[in-house]
Amino acid sequence: MNYQNKLHCIMSLCLAGFTSIAFAQKIELKSNWTYREEKTQKWYTASVPGEIHTDLLNSKLIPDPFYRDNEKKLQWIERKNWEYKTAFQVTANMLKKKNTELVFDGLDTYAAVYVNNQLVLKADNMFRQWRVDVKKVLKSGNNDLRIVFQSAQNVVDSLAKKDYPFVIPDNPRTYVRKAQYHFGWDWGPKFTTCGIWKTPRFEAYDEKEPEKPYVLTRKIELIQDKDSLGSSFYFKIDGNPVYMKGANYIPSDAFLSRVSKKEYEKIVLSAKEANMNMLRVWGGGIYEDDYFYDLCDKYGINVWQDFMFAGTMVPGDDAFFENVKKEVQYQVKRLRHHPSIVLWCGNNESDEAFKNWGWMKNFKISKQDSIRLWKDYTRLFHDSIPKWVKEVDGKRPYLSSSPLYHWSKPKSVTEGDSHYWGIWWGLEDIEAVQKKTGRFVSEYGMLSMPNYSSVEVFTLPEDRYLYSDIVLAHQKSGKGFEKLDSYLNRYFIDSAKIKNISLEDYTYLTQCLQYYVVKNIAGTHRSKEPYNMGTLIWQLNDCWPTASWSITDYYNREPRASWYAIREAYRDDVKPETDFIRPRDLSLEDPKINWEIKGNNIIIKALKMAKYVYISMKGYNGKWSDNYFDLKAGEEKTISFEGKITKPEIKIYSLFEVLEKYK
């Protein structure tokens, strides 16, 4: 039987199953919600789906959390408990059904649910679906629904204190099944929010719906074979080795309810248009919306799916394990029908962190506690999760952790996948990649400032100078500017001149640096195929406006310079380039760039060689057909832009013009 006939049969069976529940009734509970701080008097209009920060913002009770240094002014929100309520109608006919359930696909996170003032559910995991039979407390007509959210930060602090002197590194966040980036990251803000982040519903039915058909015909293998050089790491799909070119994906907003279908389309298309064929869904975020995976299915983007654990060890109690089991099996069953998913991975960096991040010393962990931590870790990621996954999806490979070896260890470039951070965290020269390319590099990158148009959105004019308090508030990486300045000194401009540079020029130079780094590293990786079989840049996107490793900006998903670099480095029709000529060593002359506009095209010409030609247009946030490109002497290039722009204000310059200011 061919694939089409198989699928036809399966769908026929499913339709037959649906007829048995034809009289099931569902009510989406997204209207008439209000909220308040628990035990206060005044109620305000709430949006569902949503979260407390967006509700407070919509009620004009707080300023924009992303503006200037408002993040630190809004930390009080996470220490409060918040209460939501609505009402829904139940008919007598609904009450006659065998099952009458409330279904919550997204409660963030510690939530007590009351129906008609009766406690019906206590939730403690934002990644699980919660179903509760409410027949005994329902009445015909109007029914009250109320949800009280406890402060997740207060809860995890209490749990960590209760365990003391036993310490689980590196953060109390490990106790809670909640998006870990909500507790802050080196590219993200700390907004430990709460709320109803997916639409709840009421269901009345006699028989359950059949599960989604599970048909996985494009065989998936992860090949990790010993060889003379170490151990391979590559994907075979339908028996064919596939070289993976892609990026790491983080949640596209600090507030998840704001990620619309349009936003998903923008960001997944940005990967497709950059010639990517893989996205790694990073383990400190969320299991993404089905629409994200639908788009990956549509555009041929393979998905490396982490489970939601990042850079911590885990509690070992039975309740935690049972909670994670239900989470894992629910999410795998929800997502397994997506052909784009090619790997389940236990966690991000927890294995290498335990062995190499100095936790034993920093947290004063005893040998006995260290043994306990490792035992709990291996029980979850080596024994339990692979078993739970296999019970519901035996067709995809599982990897316990990414990576197994720290970037400073020789095996990180000879075995398995590698997060190569010798460049950036180790302050190594970029040329080091020529001798330190791993078998599959699943993280690497270079930080840059966001586009200057983004800087203008979150600052006032008086904030726009290098190292201002506001600029520092939007740069979360430890010693980030010191590292950036070190690389700028080596590759672009003397460090003595940096302190006098304008913020706009500094932004341009960091983007040129990011362009130079990622294009050369990605090109080097690809040039070493088949020793290397994958290159995934850190990171594709941002969750707020910030200096980061992202190749796109938060606002409008606008490309940074490095997006254009990756698009070129990942092209299949050209040989990957690696000259490693440091831009500061070039003998640049005034290129005397001139241009003219014809419709939606800008025709650009330079009399002398021009490096990193940059085009900007006031008020324009779309893609250019190219940017940050080089022009040879006398070369003419046509660049197009999207949409209709009246009286465009164009600014074009290159590396020469910027460096010339600071001679």
Q: pLDDT, tens digit, for every residue of 303-362?
A: 999 999 999 999 999 999 999 999 999 999 999 999 999 999 999 999 999 999 999 999
Within a domain: 220: no
Query: Residue 574 — very low, low, confident or very high, per pLDDT cuts 50/70/90?
Result: confident
- Interval 564-583 mean pLDDT: 88
What pLDDT does residue 215 have? 75
> Where do we find the tokens 């005994």?
136
Domain shared by 356 and 422, yes or no: yes
CATH code: domain of residue 543: 3.20.20.80
Q: How far apart are CA 45 and CA 634, in angstroms?
A: 62
Structure confidence by residue, pLDDT tens digits, 480-499: 999 999 999 999 999 999 98
Q: Are 272 and 303 in contact (CB under 8 A)?
A: no
| Helix runs in 274-366, H state only | 290-299, 318-335, 350-356, 359-362
> Where do we find the tokens 């996205």?
279
Domain shared by 483 and 366, yes or no: yes
Within a domain: 479: yes
Average pLDDT in the chain: 94
* 305-396-551 Cα angle (round to 5): 25
Candidates 369, 370, 377, 359; CA nearest to 170 is 359
Q: Is 264 helix (H, G, I), strand (E, B) or coil?
A: helix
DSSP secondary structure string for all residues of 357-397:
S-HHHHTT--HHHHHHHHHHHHIIIIIIHHHHHHHH--SS-
CATH code: domain of residue 93: 2.60.120.260
Domain shared by 434 and 544, yes or no: yes
pLDDT at 561 over 60: yes
Q: Which of 14-28, 58-72, 98-112, 395-409 has the lowest mean pLDDT?
A: 14-28
Report the length, in residues, of the chain.
663
**Token digits for 252?**
């596209």
Beta bridge partners of 534: 244
Structure confidence by residue, pLDDT tens digits, 1-25: 444 444 444 344 343 333 334 468 9
Q: How far apart are CA 424 and CA 80, in angstroms?
A: 38
What pLDDT does residue 23 have? 63
Q: How far apart are CA 562 and CA 516, in angstroms?
A: 8
Query: How many folded domains does the chain comprise?
Result: 3
For the chain, helix (H) and strand (E) counts, in that order, are: 19, 33
Domain around 600: 585-660
Contacts of 257 (CB under 8 A, 6+ apart): 47, 49, 50, 51, 54, 195, 197
| DSSP secondary structure letter of residue 451 | P
- Percent of the chain past pLDDT 90, that is, above it, reads 91
Within a domain: 112: yes
Domain shared by 605 and 543, yes or no: no
What pLDDT does residue 217 have? 73
Query: Residue 397 — very low, low, confident or very high, per pLDDT cuts 50/70/90?
Result: very high
Q: How far apart are CA 578 and CA 628, in angstroms?
A: 17
Structure confidence by residue, pLDDT tens digits, 180-227: 999 999 999 999 999 999 999 999 999 988 877 777 777 999 999 999
Domain shared by 561 and 589, yes or no: no
Q: Is 454 helix (H, G, I), strand (E, B) or coil?
A: helix
> CB neighbours (10 Å) of residue 494?
12
What pLDDT does residue 210 have? 81
CA distances from 106 to 6, 111, 195, 637 (A): 34, 11, 8, 50
State the DSSP H helix or E strand holding residue 493, giving kind and residue range, or none if neither.
none
Q: Are 631 and 568 in contact (CB under 8 A)?
A: no
Candidates 123, 118, 99; CA nearest to 21 is 99
Structure confidence by residue, pLDDT tens digits, 153-178: 999 999 999 999 999 999 999 999 99
What pLDDT does residue 304 have? 98
Domain shared by 564 and 594, yes or no: no
Q: How far apart are CA 191 and CA 561, in angstroms?
A: 29
pLDDT at 284 over 80: yes
What pLDDT does residue 577 have? 67
pLDDT at 54 over 60: yes
Within a domain: 565: yes
- Interval 593-613 mean pLDDT: 95
Within a domain: 354: yes
Q: Are 521 and 566 in contact (CB under 8 A)?
A: no
Domain shared by 561 and 592, yes or no: no
Handedness of CA 296, 302, 306, 307 (dihedral sign): positive
Structure confidence by residue, pLDDT tens digits, 87-101: 999 999 999 999 999
pLDDT at 47 over 60: yes
Domain shared by 610 and 521, yes or no: no
Domain shared by 363 and 272, yes or no: yes
| DSSP secondary structure letter of residue 136 | G
Q: How far apart are CA 532 and CA 529, in angstroms?
A: 5
Q: Are 284 and 181 in contact (CB under 8 A)?
A: yes
